[in-house]
Amino acid sequence: MTRIPCYSLDYYDKSVIRMIIQKYGMEQMDAARAFLISETHAMLEDACLAMTEFSDRAIFDMWEVEKVTGDPRNSAYLRSEI
């Protein structure tokens, strides 16, 4: 697997973790853990999937969809409905 550049991953990590904290009131470490161990994050890391074409809000939506359905691929962003 080819990984995305560290600076891109850092941007998404900080932004999505901040959104998780704001929306769900989680502690920073809990929010970081929830995002970093998610399938959404694993997909984001894989440069071949080109997830960096999506905004940080779209990545956050994928993470939320993963938490509800168990699969980030159920997100409207990945189903091309948006």
- Answer yes or no: is pLDDT of 82 > 80: no
In the predicted structure, residue 81 carries a pLDDT above the cut 70: no
Q: Give residue limits of the domains in the chain.
A: 6-74
- Residues 6 or more apart in contact with residue 75 via CB below 8 angstroms: 58, 61, 62, 65, 66
Q: Rounded distance, CA 23 to CA 10, Å? A: 20
Q: Higher model confidence: residue 20 or residue 77?
A: 20
Per-residue pLDDT, averaged over 20-25, amounts to 98
The pTM of the full predicted model, rounded to 2 decimals, is 0.93
